[in-house]
Amino acid sequence: MLVSLVQNNPAFGRKMDNARNLVRLMEQAAATETGRPELYVLPELCFSGYQFLSRDEAYALAEPRQGGEGISVLAEAAKKLDAAIVFGFPERSGGKLYNSSMLLTPEGSRAVYRKTHLFAKEKTIFDPGDSGFFVKEFRGLKIGLAVCFDWFFPEAFGTLARLGADLIAHSANLVMPYCQQAVYARAVENRVYVLTANRCGSEDRGAELLTYTGKSVAVSPKGEYLVSLPESEEAAVCLAVDPALARDKALNPYNDIIADRRPELYR
């Protein structure tokens, strides 16, 4: 299957403009000679921006999973591109507010993952995710979702792999420098594809200057960097993934990385 990794630089709060720009980037990827991707992975909070100054501000920009300004634009694009899209968005649900990621299919199904491990001041804005980890199959590819700081917890990606994920769609707004190297280990230790779609650019809402690290990466189950995007430019690229490669957990005739686990000794 052909998939696409998308990196953007949203302008804070301009949901419609940012969503349309994401569609433009996805259309660019679809127009390349490699063929049409069937899955696009977009960054965390990709049409709202990241640096909310208060929970009320985030709540005002948030959308229910049924849709709002940003989600509607992406839902339309999924149909037009005949592809699934994974994207991060601020989700409101009743009085709760989550840093969520959605797997949206062209047929209209919407699976929502709510970020488990909130980072820094996100703890003052969002409720901790309560969806838990899950895997969904789309056109033969088993997709698991993770959001940004989840990478810091090997159990998160390991759980997705043990649930059967072929590919972990990891939407991010990274401000620390380690993740693009660390997800290499997440891919190798679980023999899965990891696509980290990070944002680029900086945001200063008067509280602090946040500079996002860009350099979105795709890593194969065999530990190859398949794609590495630039640090500070928007980009969308295509790459091929093979679910069979991720389902082969045998390292050699003696070692199977799932069967060899010793959970009784782990704490």
The binding site for ligand ACM (CB under 6 A) comprises 44, 119, 148-149, 173-175
Residue 79 is among the residues annotated as catalytic for this protein: no
Q: CA–CA separation, 116 vs 98, rounded Å?
A: 10
Residue 115 is among the residues annotated as catalytic for this protein: yes
Q: CA–CA separation, 155 vs 153, rounded Å?
A: 5
91 Cβ partners below 8 Å, 6+ apart? 62, 63, 64, 65, 97, 98, 99, 100, 112, 114
CB 239, min distance to ligand ACM, A: 23
Q: Tell me whether residue 112 or residue 174 sits nearer to ligand ACM (CB atom).
A: 174
Catalytic hit among 91, 122, 142, 148:
148
Q: Tell me whether residue 120 or residue 258 sits nearer to ligand ACM (CB atom).
A: 120
What is the DSSP-derived secondary structure letter of residue 59?
A: H
CB 149, min distance to ligand ACM, A: 3
Residue 121 is among the residues annotated as catalytic for this protein: no
Q: Tell me whether residue 185 or residue 210 sits nearer to ligand ACM (CB atom).
A: 210
Q: Tell me whether residue 173 or residue 190 sits nearer to ligand ACM (CB atom).
A: 173
CB 115, min distance to ligand ACM, A: 7
Contact present, 202 and 175 (Cβ < 8 Å): no
Residue 132: exposure state from Cβ atoms within 10 A (0-12, 13-18, ≥19):
exposed
Contact present, 29 and 237 (Cβ < 8 Å): yes
Q: Which of 13, 7, 9, 8 is nearest to 205 (CA)?
A: 13
Catalytic hit among 46, 63, 91, 115:
115
Catalytic hit among 38, 44, 63, 122:
44
CB 50, min distance to ligand ACM, A: 7
The catalytic site residues sit at: 44, 115, 148
